[in-house]
Chains A and B, each alone.
Chain A
Amino acid sequence: MTRAARAKTDNRAKIDLACLRGLAALGAPRDARSRLIVQAPGAFLTEAVEEVLGSSETRTASFDRHGVRDPDLTSGHDLIVTSGVLGAGTIADTARRLGAFVEALAPGGCLAAAIETYAAAGANGAEEVVLFPDLGALGLLGPDVEVRTPLPPAAWLALLSSAGLKVKATAGYAEEPLADEVLDRHAPRLAAFDGREIATGRLLVVAEKPGAPT
């Protein structure tokens, strides 16, 4: 592995660990009997879950953000942990994928998700993602931005609610504002967006499926 690749890997592992610590702080259960981890290839979510939430019966499923087929999910899980998976593809794809996650949860089960919202940074920061969404859609801001579902945090929370989940806690809302000079220089263009919505990059969400746990 080259030095650059190792640095990228280490960085990825740190991000996943930080996400898990954040989700645990929001109330992701440590005592879930059955866990499902859905992650993108090259992620370190499984290791992070083991370290932060302890050991338990765990299944994993891999999802390629740039692929065309969603993973087949097993059902009846008390906890689903996911990062970098939900917000890829069209809005309809994302809604369908979330529906599959809800189906995979047992009644009373919990979804702990790290979601990259519309204004999450691309390869060169968040400014160009927000200012030039058409370039993002054309792939000119990197492959991750190209496939990103363009939903800001309020739309994500509305989506989770409409999918039948009750959001218990969130973190990251309006915590990554754009630089003041960007806001000033591009004020007319940014007026199309709500300030709090574009000040959110990664949103951590813990949501519960209604019903009594079996």
Chain B
Amino acid sequence: MKLNRKAERLVTLARETVFPPRYELHPEEDAAQERAVAVWRDLFQPFGPLVEDADILEVGCADGRLASRLVTHGAARSATGVEPGFDFGPYDTLEGRLTLSSDLAVLDTLDDGVFDLVLARDVDTALPLDGLERRLGRIYELLRPGGEAVLRVGCFAPGGRLGEGPGYGLMTPTAWAAVVMRAGFEIIDSAQVWRDDRNQSAVDIILPDASPTERACAEMRLHLVRPWESWELAALTARRSKRRR
């Protein structure tokens, strides 16, 4: 009998080696996971943000798969994803480490300084123009001192409606720099994606006096830091001095 069981196990192993068992993942699920991985690899990873043991907020998280993977594969401590209007349905909260919400208003209910990293793959889609400055300011408040943000933002494309589409129909690279710096961020790195020739000609007509680089940019990826405020440094120094005594 023992021999039969051993033989049976050997045959099963051989069969699984030659004919691997079909997993229950649907091919569409595989594709969705691949897309999430591609977003991370193409948009965020080039800036090398720190993920391990980080509390991460993803604004405009689409289906939440990237936020989930940051916890399961990236060793993030927690991930919160917000996608306005998306029905996440029941999902695995990964023992409370993953939170997904379909309402931007959830950002106003969180405490200040609870995230180490904020990701946004498409700011001008996730955040409406109405309240843009306030929401960027809120993202700043949600970050801990030294926290990072990696945002993709679109720049003005001709033919669109005001308030919609890339850059809300008006934002330029310098306008984005001004807006994020007004929110308190420091820009530590940026990357620009150039327009195609067809769009470029239309933009050149509308912005003839702008510099070629300002006109040529279709989208930007911004790597921002939430700096230590002087009063926070002073409080930290005072605490350290107290501890030494």
B167: chain A residues at CB < 8 Å are 158
Number of interface residues, chain A, beta carbon within 8 A: 33
A182: chain B residues at CB < 8 Å are none
* A195→B212 CA distance, assembly (Å): 11
Q: Is A92 an interface residue (CB 8 A)?
A: yes
Q: Is A78 an interface residue (CB 8 A)?
A: no
Q: Is A173 an interface residue (CB 8 A)?
A: yes
A95 contacts B162, C-beta separation under 8 Å? yes
B169: chain A residues at CB < 8 Å are 158-159, 162
The residue from B131, B132, B163, B171 contacting A155, defined by CB atoms under 8 A apart: B171
Q: Which of A4-53 contact B (CB under 8 A)?
A: none
A161: chain B residues at CB < 8 Å are 158, 206
Closest A residue by C-beta to B184: A134
B174 contacts A198, C-beta separation under 8 Å? yes
B174 contacts A157, C-beta separation under 8 Å? no
A154 contacts B162, C-beta separation under 8 Å? no
Interface SS of chain A: helix
* A212→B52 CA distance, assembly (Å): 62
Q: Is A73 an interface residue (CB 8 A)?
A: no
Q: Is A123 an interface residue (CB 8 A)?
A: no
Q: Is B104 an interface residue (CB 8 A)?
A: no
Size class of the B contact interface (CB-based, 8 Å): 35 or more
Q: Is A181 an interface residue (CB 8 A)?
A: no
User: Would you give the shortest CB distance from B206 to chain A, in whole angstroms?
Assistant: 5
Q: Is B160 an interface residue (CB 8 A)?
A: yes
Q: Which of B135-194 contact A (CB under 8 A)?
A: 156, 158, 160-163, 167-175, 177-179, 181-184, 187, 190
User: Would you give the shortest CB distance from A177 to chain B, in whole angstroms?
Assistant: 13
B162 contacts A155, C-beta separation under 8 Å? no
Tell which of A59-67, A105-113, A145-153 binds the partner: A145-153
B170 contacts A195, C-beta separation under 8 Å? no
Q: Is B13 an interface residue (CB 8 A)?
A: no
User: Would you give the shortest CB distance from A140 to chain B, in whole angstroms?
Assistant: 12
- Hey, what's the 0/1 contact readout for A166-203 against B, CB within 8 Å counting as 1? 01001001100000000000000000111111100000
The residue from A99, A150, A196 contacting B209, defined by CB atoms under 8 A apart: A196
**A-B residue pairs in contact (CB < 8 Å), sample of 12:** A91-B132, A133-B182, A134-B181, A137-B183, A152-B175, A155-B175, A157-B209, A158-B207, A159-B162, A162-B156, A193-B174, A196-B209
